[in-house]
Structure formats: structure tokens, C-alpha cells
A and B are shown apart, each in its own frame.
Chain A
Amino acid sequence: MSEAAPLLEANGLKCHFDVSAPLLNRLLEHQPRQVVRAVDGVSFRIDKGTTFGLVGESGCGKSTLARLVVGLYRPNAGAIRFEGVDLAAGTARTGSKSPQARMQMIFQNPYASLNPRWRVADIIAEPLRFRNLVHGRAAVSARVAELLRQVGLSPADAQRYPHEFSGGQRQRISIARALAGEPDFLVCDEPTSALDVSVQAQILNLMKDLQRRLGLTYLFISHNLAVVYHVSDTVGVMYLGRLVEWADTESLFRRPQHPYTRMLLDAIPDLAMTGRPRTPVAGEVPSPLDPPPGCAFHPRCPFANARCRSEVPQDTKLPGGAVACHAVAEGRLPAWKEYGA
């Protein structure tokens, strides 16, 4: 990563949810408090104009992290800095836009994230009106038309309702709405997971074009490693609330270090794998209510030893990244067979 100041920096983020039974039940049935550590000490930084991809299986805390970043959840510990300004410090107006106003979010399901009773024009104009960005009816509709054109739709579409559009077009509307607030930073939570591959390709190409044209920075969350490889400059891998490895995209995909990253890369069905046998993947993600002690991945890890079962691994710095694994730190991890070579 470059030496320049990052656009967004997260330090030791934690988000815990109390999912205990009601107090009376706890007292009568002698149940302990139960806490889900959805995000448990995550640090990362995103440079301006780049894409940080976040991968992991369901329940590993990706979406919680996204919501922490945009401020939909408050962290229990840790801090998020946007251009050096602490987001928790409140919205001290210093003339420029507050950090929150410069972030927008794109959600997975374009069927649920657009109000079915509003016309597209109103959906896209809402951030314009809310933030008082554009004044006057004519100026608003001109800006809406411009945004629609920017995402590859026609200005005439402004008068239609969301149900008249296909999934891919609806995701374009979500993107237009996100862009209406003139953000610098977009948090995209599985933006193409509900779409067909050919439509996914259209949306990914559009997002890359917009990034180039408008200098946007993305936090891109997906469970699809191929998609993350395609869009990201830097990739982080999450497992049970922790960032187990992050590195620049090429290093992570060519020389994955953490056994979990290797397992994920090994598990993806791939066109090149026709007729070839593969190493089987063992086990499942444990319940976040009762994570294993030590390294959370140790029950599935072929390289686990006594230390892995008792001690939580800390980050080991690597060129262009970091990995939280005892086997890597102790240098007892075998080399990775080059993927796709």
C-alpha cells in the first residue's frame, strides 16, 4: 500500500451483540449471558481511489463490518477514521461535508432496497433534497437525468416504478441513488450476488468505469472470490469476526498464506478444473455463539498444533499485507502451489 494518508482507516473495531435470554430466564435457568462477537478486533485501511475487497463465508461478520463503517452500528471498541477524522467524534460542522455525507451504501437485494411505491425520479432525488444539494424542480430533474445516464439508463426511466425494471437495472438505480449524494466512498455489500452472470458483468464494468471517472473508493464485500479478485486492489479475508489475512490482490491470490484463504481458493469450482480431482474441504464454519478457543480456524486446519488451540494468533506483517496465523509466524507452513500456473 502507498505511503499516502488513507481515505478510511479502521483500528481494532469490535462489534458485539448481546443475544442472552431475558433476565428472568437467565436467573431461573442459571444461563450465562451470551454474546456474539460479530466483529472482533478488525483493523484495515483503504487508500483513496482503490477498492478493498472483503471475502468470507456467511456469518463471518462481513456485513456487520460494512454497517459499522457507514455508521449503521456503533462499534463497542475501536475507531474508524475518515481522512483522519474520527467518525465517533460526532459531526462537527467545519464548512465541508461531514464524513458520513461522503459515504453511501449499495445493498445486495435491489428488490428490497428500492421503495416500490416511489417513482425512480423520487428515489434518486431523495438524497439531493435531503442534503439540499440541488435547488429547484428543474435542476433536480436535470441532475436525476444526468445520474440515470451515468449508470446506463435512459432519462425517460425516471417516470417509471422499480417493478418495471429487471434486477440489473434496479441495481443501476441503486447505484444512481448512491451517487446522488456525491460520495467519495461507497460501501457495496454483495452488490452483484442476486444477479445473473451476464448482468453481473455489466454492473461490475459499470462500477469500474464510475470509479475511474469519479475517483471513487470502494469497500466491496462478496462471498465470490472471483468477483473480488476482479474488482479489488487489496483483499481482506474474514473468518468468525476477524480479518485473518489481507494483502494486495495479486499476492493474496498467487501466494495465499492463511490456511483458511488457501482452503477457500481450493474450494471454488473452476472452469479449469474440469475432470481434475481436488483436495476435499473439511468441516464447516463453527457457530459464532461458541467460537473455538485460540485460533478460530484450528478445528478445520491441517496445520494446527497445541499453540493454535490455546492462543489467539496476532498479525504477522508480510510484504504488502499481514496474516494472523501461528504456522506462518513460526515458518512451519508449506509453500502454496501456484494457482492457475
Chain B
Amino acid sequence: MDPLLQVRHLRVEFPSRRGALTAVDDVSFGIAPGEILGMVGESGAGKSMTGAAIIGLLEPPGRISGGEILLEGRRIDDLPQGELRKIRGRKIGAIFQDPLTSLNPLYRIGDQLTETILTHLEMSPVAARARAVRLLEEVGIPAASERLDHYPHQFSGGMRQRVVIALALAAEPRLIIADEPTTALDVSIQAQIIGLLKRLGHQHGTAVLLITHDMGVIAETSDRVAVMYAGRIVEIGPVADIIKRPRHPYTVGLMGAIPDMSRKVERLVQIEGAMPRLDAIPSGCAFHPRCPRAIARCRAERPELLAAGSSHAACWLAGEVVHV
């Protein structure tokens, strides 16, 4: 299938007094219709920046300084703001971490939903309201027609995130960017929201870019996963492969660092140190100072993504089998 979204050699920079800081560096990936691509990494890895660049919501002075973004074969990264606004909401929906800040506290949720629907779709206000009720029912909000007249503060955290999802789906977008959609929620609510995202994606054939730091969430929802480190994708491939046979030492470390409930271990796998700052990205492979397997070549030369089994890894040693 042709990818719905194609990101090619994307580069996001922040100008600063001491030169430009590169937050996203040469990132390329595609998402097919109906596919969920998980994007995982620790804070500062550039995953949210990538999502913001796609939807055209980079905070200035951040800017796209290279590469291109194609939606349904059409470039969207160089569109003027007005054009972009039409695509945003209509073709690309967004779900953010904190549902309270994504909703306007002064408007009833029904008004917020119908506003979005009327902005993007040709229909009467009455039809828009009926559609809003259907949307709320679809995301699992009981007594939807009455809830339409409630304000955001009258909803619980989980219900609020459902409203945000309904809002993102309002104009039937082709792509949804979900940036940490379950991070602010309790585990039992998180499980409900994950199930909902998965079901809606498959039913509507909507592609989803799911950005999260939680490997468990990715494992359950995504078809493919991209692991980011210091602004670059270090490994990308089918989710089952990456979980069972991670190739990049960073992915291996990341998996080992997650406490495992199926067996008790005395110590967790520990990656020494921390993610480098943007103004001090190491030479060669950015992971080499923390990598237990680094060789001389890693310090001098930057590895590109290379095929390793059914996935791709940016590591000089990826050809060899890494044992967890």
C-alpha cells in the first residue's frame, strides 16, 4: 500500500546565539492507511518535535530546515499558514497529553465539537449536532446527547480524553498524531483509551502516529515502531521484531530498563549516563558514550539506518545478533 504520510530527511532546528540546535535530524518514515506507527524515546529525543513538525505546530523559533513531509503524495511542509489550517483538523487530527489544556474551559463540549465539524464539513448546524452526538457515542461516552451541554470540568480525566479523541475524529481525518495520549491517565483508563484508539484506527482506516515513552503502550497498539535517540531514528521495524530482537544497543538497554513482571530480577539493566543535550551531541553515533559495545568506528563515523533482519537499525554492529 502507498504510504499515506511520508516524511523524508526531516530536520528541525532551533536558532540560538551559539548556532542552530538540531532537535530532529534526518528523520524519514512512512505510515500506511490504517497503520499505527509507534514512536518511542526518552524526553528530549525529538519525538514530539517530529509530531509538531508534521502538523505544522512547531513553536517558534523552531523551524523545519530540511527535508519534506508528504500527505497523500502532496507536500504539506511548505504550505502557507492558511492552507495548513485547512488541512489541520480536516486531514490531520491531533490528540495531546493533557486533555484539560486541549479543551476550552469556557465552552460546552457540544459547541467545541460542532465548531470543528462546521469549520471542516459542509452541513447544517442541526446535522453537525447530530454528528457530535454520534461521535461522543463512538468514543464511549454514556448519555451523549445530555453530555453535549456540559463543560470540560464536568468530565473526569478519562472522559475528557475521550472528548479530545472525538474532537480529533470530528472531520474524519486521514491521519491522527497522538502525542502521549494516555500518559496523564490511570492504568485502567489508559487501557480503555488504548483500546479505543486501536479500534477507531482500524474501523476508519485512519493512520496513527502514536508518540509515547511507554514501550508497553507501543507493544499493545502499534504495528510498527520507531525508536528515537538524540533527534534521530535509531531503529525502526515491525513491533514484534523490535521487542523480541532489538538490534540497536539503545533499544536493548531501553527494553532491559523496564521492570518485568513475569520474572523477578535483582537489578535492572542500566544505561549509564543520560541523553546528551542538543548543544553537545557527541560525534559519530550519538549513543556511543553510553554504549557498552562501542568501537572506534562508532566515535568517528555516524551510522545510517541499515536493514537488519526485518527491521532497520542505525548501528555499526546491527548485523550481529545482540543478546539481551
Is B267 touching A225 in the complex (CB atoms < 8 A)?
A: no
Asked, given contacts A229-B261, A268-B187, A269-B219, whether A205 binds B156 with beta carbons under 8 Å apart, the answer is no
Is A340 touching B194 in the complex (CB atoms < 8 A)?
A: no
Q: Mark B267-282, 1 if CB is under 8 A from A, else 0.
A: 1111110110000000
Q: Mark B242-259, 1 if CB is under 8 A from A, else 0.
A: 010000000001111111
Is B191 touching A281 in the complex (CB atoms < 8 A)?
A: yes
Is B271 touching A270 in the complex (CB atoms < 8 A)?
A: no
B213, B221, B243, B257: most-surrounded residue (chain A CB, <10 A): B257
Query: Measured between alpha carbons, how far is A227 from B261 in the docked complex, in Å?
Result: 9
**Min C-beta distance of B181 to chain A, whole Å:** 12
Query: Measured between alpha carbons, how far is A284 from B159 in the docked complex, in Å?
Result: 9
Is B186 touching A223 in the complex (CB atoms < 8 A)?
A: yes
Q: Mark B188-204, 1 if CB is under 8 A from A, else 0.
A: 11111011000000000
Partner of A285, one of B186, B216, B263, B267: B186
B143 within 8 A of A: no
Kindly list chain A residues whose C-beta atoms are within 8 Å of the C-beta of B258. 197, 201, 226, 271
Partner of B268, one of A204, A223, A267, A273: A204
Kindly list chain A residues whose C-beta atoms are within 8 Å of the C-beta of B270. 198, 201-202, 205
Partner of B194, one of A198, A224, A269, A271: A269
**Min C-beta distance of A6 to chain B, whole Å:** 23
Is B191 touching A269 in the complex (CB atoms < 8 A)?
A: yes
Kindly list chain B residues whose C-beta atoms are within 8 Å of the C-beta of A67. none
Asked, given contacts A226-B261, A270-B261, A285-B186, whether A196 binds B42 with beta carbons under 8 Å apart, the answer is yes
Partner of A201, one of B159, B217, B257, B275: B257
Is A269 touching B220 in the complex (CB atoms < 8 A)?
A: yes
Is A200 touching B188 in the complex (CB atoms < 8 A)?
A: no
B43 within 8 A of A: yes
A274 within 8 A of B: yes
Q: Mark A252-287, 1 if CB is under 8 A from B, else 0.
A: 010000000001101111111111001011011100
A290 within 8 A of B: no
**Min C-beta distance of B221 to chain A, whole Å:** 8
Asked, given contacts A57-B187, A264-B187, whether A271 binds B266 with beta carbons under 8 Å apart, the answer is no
Kindly list chain B residues whose C-beta atoms are within 8 Å of the C-beta of A223. 186-187
Asked, given contacts A168-B274, A202-B270, A268-B216, whether A58 binds B186 with beta carbons under 8 Å apart, the answer is yes
Kindly list chain B residues whose C-beta atoms are within 8 Å of the C-beta of A166. 274
Kindly list chain A residues whose C-beta atoms are within 8 Å of the C-beta of B190. 267, 269
A328 within 8 A of B: no
**Min C-beta distance of B37 to chain A, whole Å:** 15
Is A57 touching B260 in the complex (CB atoms < 8 A)?
A: no
Number of interface residues of A (CB under 8 A): 46
Asked, given contacts A230-B268, A267-B188, whether A280 binds B195 with beta carbons under 8 Å apart, the answer is yes
**Min C-beta distance of B34 to chain A, whole Å:** 15
A224, A229, A230, A275: most-surrounded residue (chain B CB, <10 A): A230
Is B215 touching A230 in the complex (CB atoms < 8 A)?
A: no
Is B267 touching A339 in the complex (CB atoms < 8 A)?
A: no
Kindly list chain B residues whose C-beta atoms are within 8 Å of the C-beta of A283. 188
Kindly list chain A residues whose C-beta atoms are within 8 Å of the C-beta of B260. 226, 230, 271
B239 within 8 A of A: yes
Partner of A263, one of B188, B262, B274, B275: B188
Kindly list chain B residues whose C-beta atoms are within 8 Å of the C-beta of A268. 187, 191, 216, 261
Kindly list chain B residues whose C-beta atoms are within 8 Å of the C-beta of A200. 257
Is B220 touching A274 in the complex (CB atoms < 8 A)?
A: yes
A119 within 8 A of B: no
B126 within 8 A of A: no
Partner of A271, one of B42, B219, B272: B219
Q: Mark B161-201, 1 if CB is under 8 A from A, else 0.
A: 00000000000000000000000001111111011000000
Number of interface residues of B (CB under 8 A): 47
Partner of B243, one of A274, A278, A340: A274
Kindly list chain B residues whose C-beta atoms are within 8 Å of the C-beta of A285. 186, 188
**Min C-beta distance of A291 to chain B, whole Å:** 15
Asked, given contacts A227-B259, A339-B262, whether A269 binds B192 with beta carbons under 8 Å apart, the answer is no
A83 within 8 A of B: no
Asked, given contacts A197-B213, A202-B270, whether A267 binds B261 with beta carbons under 8 Å apart, the answer is no
A199 within 8 A of B: yes
Is A57 touching B240 in the complex (CB atoms < 8 A)?
A: no
A48 within 8 A of B: no
**Min C-beta distance of B273 to chain A, whole Å:** 9
Asked, given contacts A204-B268, A270-B216, A280-B192, whether A197 binds B257 with beta carbons under 8 Å apart, the answer is yes
Query: Measured between alpha carbons, how far is A279 from B277 in the docked complex, in Å?
Result: 42
A250 within 8 A of B: yes
Asked, given contacts A196-B42, A198-B257, whether A269 binds B217 with beta carbons under 8 Å apart, the answer is yes
B111 within 8 A of A: no
Which of chain B's residues 208-243 have a Cβ closer than 8 Å to chain A?
213-217, 219-221, 239-240, 243
Which of chain A's residues 131-152 have a Cβ closer than 8 Å to chain B?
none
| A→B interface (CB under 8 Å) | 57-58, 166-169, 196-202, 204-205, 208, 223-227, 229-230, 249-250, 253, 263-264, 266-275, 278, 280-281, 283-285, 339-340
| B→A interface (CB under 8 Å) | 42-43, 156, 158-159, 186-192, 194-195, 213-217, 219-221, 239-240, 243, 253-272, 274-275
Known: A196-B213, A197-B213, A230-B264. 19 other contacts (CB 8 A): A58-B186, A196-B42, A196-B275, A197-B257, A198-B274, A199-B274, A224-B259, A225-B187, A227-B259, A230-B260, A253-B261, A268-B191, A269-B214, A271-B216, A271-B260, A273-B219, A274-B243, A284-B186, A340-B261
